[in-house]
Amino acid sequence: MNKTPRVCVWHVQGDTYRDALRERLPDAPIEAINAATHETGEAVLSAPDSRPGADHAASLIADALSSAEILLAWKVPPGTLTNMSALRWVQVTGAGVDHFLESTELPATVLVTRSLGRFGIQISEYVVGYLLHHLIGINTYREKQRSHEWARNERPLLADRTVGIIGLGSLGLPTATALTTLGARVLGVRHSGLAVPGIDDVFSATSWRNMLPACDALVIAAPKTVETVGMIDHGALDALPEGTILINISRGELIDEDALLEALESGHLGAAVLDVFDTEPLPEDHPLWDQSRAWITPHIAAPSEIEVIADEFANNYRRYVAGDPLLNAVDRGRGY
């Protein structure tokens, strides 16, 4: 390892990340490659009609990749990692790392770390906000305002509700804490099933379906792994009480979308708040767009904050140079 290992930043806001890192790590050689979209990670080369410019940009990218020992990125396009012969460590700018772990191009010897940012706070605000929006009936009162109607609905309390959370990690646990602070009864699922202070009951990876009949709301906060893909299927949705609110802030692949649509169309689910999908962006002709019980946001429940992520990365970079264990290291066998 070099005393000043080279860093390649690959991101939609690559230049901004690079500048933030250079402030924190003035002696580190850092290059940035700007991606066109979060979803694909494809690099921005130049205007389509500027072939020489595109060739030059491609050459600069190739040079940055071949010499980089460290990669800071959200997502990179296929073929990128195979050109990074010096790569020893990848830090992902978000909490989810499945797109790197699933890549056959990433050598088993490469360290992978994830960022924690303030994602737990952001997710808890998102979840609590939508639950209160639904329980208070804010949309209903907005409609009554438009028609100049003074009429009261029932005012159910979150404190009288039971919320199940699948995944009690860096996203699920802060959400559980926020909900218990408001008086809600919280049940949870973690792989081991071991008790967690403040959670009424914790279920394991093999017993989690036993939790579902007790839930007034279900929050999906588990990582995407072989075990969790498709876990919210017809059986799981049928086990939920009628009128349950489902919130997914994890990965779209954890939910069987056909089963979800059926549960929404039948009215079995009271609402589904969805920030993540099998395919992103969600195709324009996808039936979820027109489903009145679905609430769709474009993967914004927990956006990465550059200054916060830069602080995390700079801290880990110093540890890497010193030969100390990296923070937030991913267990590639477990998938998180």
280 tagged catalytic: yes
Q: Which two tokens stand for residue 66?
A: 């071949």
Among the options 253, 280, 286, 319, which is catalytic? 280
The continuous run of DSSP H or E covering 86 comes out as: none
Among the options 38, 191, 293, 299, which is catalytic? 299
Edge to edge, the sheet with strand 294-296 lists 201-203, 185-189, 162-166, 217-220, 244-248, 269-274, 294-296
Q: Provide the 10 A C-beta neighbour count for residue 49.
A: 7
Cα 256 from Cα 156, distance rounded (Å): 30
Q: Identify each DSSP E strand in 129-206 by its residue range.
A: 162-166, 185-189, 201-203
Q: Provide the 10 A C-beta neighbour count for residue 168.
A: 23
The continuous run of DSSP H or E covering 139 comes out as: helix 138-146
Chain centre distance of CA 147? 39
Distances (CA, A) of 15 to 136, 195, 292: 43, 44, 40
Residue with tokens 């009609």: 49
Cα 266 from Cα 281, distance rounded (Å): 26
146 tagged catalytic: no
Q: Provide the 10 A C-beta neighbour count for residue 181.
A: 11
Among 116, 159, 115, CA closest to 135:
159
Residue with tokens 């040079």: 63
Q: Determine contact, residues 303/122, Cβ cutoff 8 Å.
A: yes
11 tagged catalytic: no
Cα 4 from Cα 22, distance rounded (Å): 13
Among the options 114, 161, 251, 293, which is catalytic? 251
Q: Which two tokens stand for residue 141?
A: 């009162």
DSSP at 222? -
Supply the residues annotated as catalytic. Answer: 251, 280, 299
